[in-house]
Each structure stands twice: as structure tokens, then as C-alpha cells.
């Protein structure tokens, strides 16, 4: 199955280190991150899971639930969690799906035969409260993900959902933003952006971040 941005993500029920996960119910009204790992007891994944656990306060502030996945069993995951705590200095504070039957991996197209026909690639899916896919990233097995970038994208998505703006290159929370080209009514612009804006071009209008 090929998932495209804006699609409703597939629902599933699968066991995890925190019991059965009924995915859409588990997400509820939260944003969600689903991210996959090739297998347990792998070095790059160990660092990723530890760092993601340290970011839990940041995810909580943004109303984001985190769910990891590996094709190994719950018992294997629980043993691995001990290694993560020992080496990364933090407890894993979110569930890890046990996808031994590859059900979720197949639903989300996480197995790429030309890379490896049995192991999942490093996929990341950001899902909004309407269960729509808002971002997907796929990394090779050798490259660890940048979860600070994932937080940055969530900040952008949540901001741009609430205001008529887009975020420019390398934007981070607090930087200036761009008024969307579709907004042309001067009165509405003045109402929405009382701090004013600078028009670099008719289509490129920069304004302070409106929720700051």
C-alpha cells in the first residue's frame, strides 16, 4: 500500500510493550509519530529510542504520542529496553509494537525488498488528530534519524494549520513566517497580522510568527 500525504492512515491492532494497541483509538485526539526499526538490539536504533524517550516532555507539550515498531517480539523488545536504559541513560517511556507477522510493516509499506526483503526500513510517519498522514520520511538502515527535525516539522504543521502562513527554509519556532499567497484581502491581512509584514515580492510577504 502506498500512503500519500493527506491519506487517512491504516488502522490496526497489534501487541506492544504496553499491551495491545488499537491504533486509531490509541491516538484519540492527539498527533502521532509512528517510526520503525529494522530489528531489536541494533546500535543505531538503540540511540534513536533513547533520544526519543528524552524528548517526551517536548512531545507532550505538542500533544504528540510516540509509537515505535520493530519486527521482533514483545519479549525481545522488553529485553532490549534494558539495554537502551543502560546505554542511553533513560527509560523508554512509550510503547514499542511487536510486528512479528509484518502486518503493520506491510500496511505502511515499511519493507523495501531492494533494501532488505525481511527487515523494515527506518520510516517516520507524522499523523494529525484527524488520522491524516502529514509527513513521511524514509532513511536507510545505516543513518540515524534527526528527531529535532521531526519536532521542528510538528511545530510547523501545528502553526500553519492555525494561521494563514507557511514556514521558510530552516525555520524554527519563533522565526518569521510567510503569509500564504492565496491571502490577498488587505483588510483580512491586517486583521490576521497586526504586527505587519514586509513584502519582498508580491508573492513573498514576511511577518513575525503570529502566535508569539
Q: Which residues are catalytic?
A: 45
Tell me if 4 sits within 8 A of 109, measured CB to CB: no
The C-alpha cell that represents 73 in the structure block: 517480539
- Rounded to whole angstroms, what are the CA distances from 71 to 5, 18, 39, 99? 25, 16, 6, 4
Report the candidate in 100, 51, 94 with the shortest Cα–Cα distance to residue 71.
Answer: 100
CA distance 29 to 130: 8
Tell me if 173 sits within 8 A of 209, measured CB to CB: yes
Amino acid at each position: 500500500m502506498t500512503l500519500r500525504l493527506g491519506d487517512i492512515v491504516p488502522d490496526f491492532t497489534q501487541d506492544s510493550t504496553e499491551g495491545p494497541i488499537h491504533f486509531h483509538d490509541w491516538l484519540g485526539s492527539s498527533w502521532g509519530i509512528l517510526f520503525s526499526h529494522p530489528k531489536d538490539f541494533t546500535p543505531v536504533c538503540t540511540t534513536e529510542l533513547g533520544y526519543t524517550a528524552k524528548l517526551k516532555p517536548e512531545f507532550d507539550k505538542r500533544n504528540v504520542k510516540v509509537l515505535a515498531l520493530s519486527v521482533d517480539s514483545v519479549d525481545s523488545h522488553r529485553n532490549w529496553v534494558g539495554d537502551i536504559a543502560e546505554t542511553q541513560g533513560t527509560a523508554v517511556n512509550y510503547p514499542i509494537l511487536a510486528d512479528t507477522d509484518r502486518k503493520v510493516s506491510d500496511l505502511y509499506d515499511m519493507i523495501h525488498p531492494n533494501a532488505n526483503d525481511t527487515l523494515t526500513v527506518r520510516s517516520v510517519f507524522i499523523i494529525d488528530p484527524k488520522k491524516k498522514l502529514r509527513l513521511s520520511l524514509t532513511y536507510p538502515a545505516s543513518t540515524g534519524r534527526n528527531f529535532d527535525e521531526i519536532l521542528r516539522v510538528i511545530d510547523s504543521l501545528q502553526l500553519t494549520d492555525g494561521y494563514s502562513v507557511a514556514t521558510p527554509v530552516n525555520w524554527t519556532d519563533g522565526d518569521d513566517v510567510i503569509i500564504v499567497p492565496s491571502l490577498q484581502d488587505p483588510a483580512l491581512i491586517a486583521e490576521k497580522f497586526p504586527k505587519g509584514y514586509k513584502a519582498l515580492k508580491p508573492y513573498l510577504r514576511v511577518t513575525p510568527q503570529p502566535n508569539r
